[in-house]
């Protein structure tokens, strides 16, 4: 499993909408927002490829100005 920290930005007037859209994804969660339109998001994925595809999905959201990888952690499965 991978967990990634993502920094996103949108126009401040779209912050509420963007937060709702991201939180509606079952693999993403907004942890922080500010009045300038920045969001701190975590995403979970099964592997690196899926994690990068999910980042690209965030980057492609209609109101997103940017979404960039800030931190990436691979958690080993307990067998």
Buried-exposed string 38-50: b where 16+ CB fall within 10 A, e elsewhere: bbebbbbbeeeee
Note the pLDDT tens digit of each residue in 25-40: 999 999 999 999 999 9
Q: What average pLDDT does the segment 10-29 reach?
A: 98
**Structural domains of the chain ordered from first start:** 2-74 (3.30.70.920)
Over residues 39-71, the pLDDT tens digits come to 999 999 999 999 999 999 999 999 999 999 999
Residue 78 confidence (pLDDT): 66
């Amino acid at each position: 499993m991978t967990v990634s920290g993502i920094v996103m930005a949108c126009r401040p007037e779209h912050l509420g909408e963007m937060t709702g859209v991201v939180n509606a994804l079952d693999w993403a969660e907004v942890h922080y927002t500010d009045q300038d339109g920045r969001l701190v998001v975590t995403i979970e994925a099964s592997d690196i490829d899926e994690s990068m595809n999910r980042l690209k999905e965030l980057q492609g959201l209609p109101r997103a100005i940017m979404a960039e990888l800030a931190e990436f952690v691979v958690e080993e499965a307990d067998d």
